[in-house]
């Protein structure tokens, strides 16, 4: 029930790791079994890693505290958000540029640290991120600024976010509203744009040929990892179930039920260190 990936790269070739957060390491603020062991293994082996999230609300310090409460010890410098990727993108595009920002501390802090000037007077950019309290006044101001020539940037394309009472409109939904009013689509920096992955690779001085991406979503984590040239690993503890994979025209290199099984293979407790593909699992089920 094992196979190498089509790239012929194996887990033993991996030197650095990128991993999604929600659905891979945590679920509803609870650590997924095996996540703490996997993080400890990487640290003990001296392997560089980054935890990625499209959530732009929180700073790395905030996220570190939230993860610690879930039982996961992750340094601030090992957390990479869509807000940080957006700030890095704008810093390279236009150092000291001016931006009108809709978002919370995770985004405004990242932009400030990158040297951006936040203003609502003649900004060069309108930057849209996630917030629990979208202001109609701020959205209206963004529409007018974009119509007057400001460039439209969004941290991520996620249309909804979770809450205890159900889904909430998120960055992608509000971006669609602004697009409808301006006829201008945003440049989206976060997943599935491989730009976020490339900035993450630069952050830890990693090379795509020796880096793996672990995700739970085919439509963001896996496609972006594939387009960035990474070894892709899908786990089934989040959004994409095993039966959903066949609907996509691309495949992850390897799949695991969860990071617990990945940790077992990395430490020699698994079958042979090669992981499995969905085709392997399906064939095994048929043989049974």
Which residues does the annotation mark as catalytic? 20, 22
Task: Indicate the DSSP class of residue 132.
Answer: S
77, 60 contact by CB (below 8 A):
yes
Who's near 100: CB < 8 A, 6+ residues apart?
118, 119, 120, 123, 125, 126, 127, 141, 142, 145, 150
Token code pair at residue 209: 């040929």
Alpha-carbon gap, residue 112 to 125, rounded angstroms:
14
Who's near 185: CB < 8 A, 6+ residues apart?
152, 179
Q: Cα dihedral sign for 111, 82, 262, 237?
A: positive
Neighbours of 78 (CB within 10 A): 20
Q: Torsions phi, psi of 126, nearest 5?
A: -110, 120
List, in sequence order, the alpha helices (H) in 55-164: 60-69, 82-93, 105-113, 136-147
Token code pair at residue 168: 């909430």
Establish how many alpha carbons lie within 13 A of residue 32's alpha carbon, considering only the half-sphere containing its beta carbon: 24
Q: Per residue in 252-270, is it b (16+ CB within 10 Å) or e — as a string?
A: bbbbbebbbbbbbbbeeeb
Task: Indicate the DSSP class of residue 148.
Answer: T
């Amino acid at each position: 029930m094992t196979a190498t990936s089509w790239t012929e790269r194996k887990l033993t070739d991996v030197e650095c790791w990128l991993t999604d957060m929600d659905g891979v390491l945590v679920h509803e603020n609870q650590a997924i079994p095996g996540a703490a062991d996997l993080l400890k293994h990487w640290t003990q082996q001296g392997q560089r890693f980054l935890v990625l999230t499209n959530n732009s609300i929180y700073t790395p310090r905030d996220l570190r505290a939230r993860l610690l409460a879930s039982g996961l010890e992750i340094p601030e410098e090992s957390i990479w958000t869509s807000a940080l990727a957006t700030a890095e993108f704008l810093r390279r595009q236009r150092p000291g540029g001016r931006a009108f920002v809709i978002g919370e501390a995770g985004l405004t802090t990242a932009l400030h640290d990158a040297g951006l000037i936040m203003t609502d007077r003649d900004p060069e950019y309108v930057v849209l991120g996630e917030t629990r309290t979208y202001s109609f006044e701020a959205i209206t101001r963004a529409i007018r600024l974009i119509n007057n020539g400001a460039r439209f940037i969004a941290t991520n394309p996620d249309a909804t976010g979770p809450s205890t009472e159900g889904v909430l409109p998120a960055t992608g939904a509000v971006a669609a509203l602004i697009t409808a009013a301006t006829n201008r689509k945003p440049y989206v920096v976060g997943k599935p744009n491989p730009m976020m992955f490339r900035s993450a690779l630069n952050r830890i001085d990693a090379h795509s040929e020796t880096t793996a991406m672990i995700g739970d979503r085919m439509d963001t984590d896996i496609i972006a990892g594939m387009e960035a040239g990474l070894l892709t690993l899908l786990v089934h503890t989040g959004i994409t179930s095993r039966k959903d994979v066949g609907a996509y025209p691309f495949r992850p290199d390897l799949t695991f039920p969860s990071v617990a099984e990945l940790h077992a293979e990395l430490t020699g407790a698994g079958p042979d260190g090669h992981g499995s593909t969905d085709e392997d699992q399906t064939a095994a089920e048929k043989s049974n």
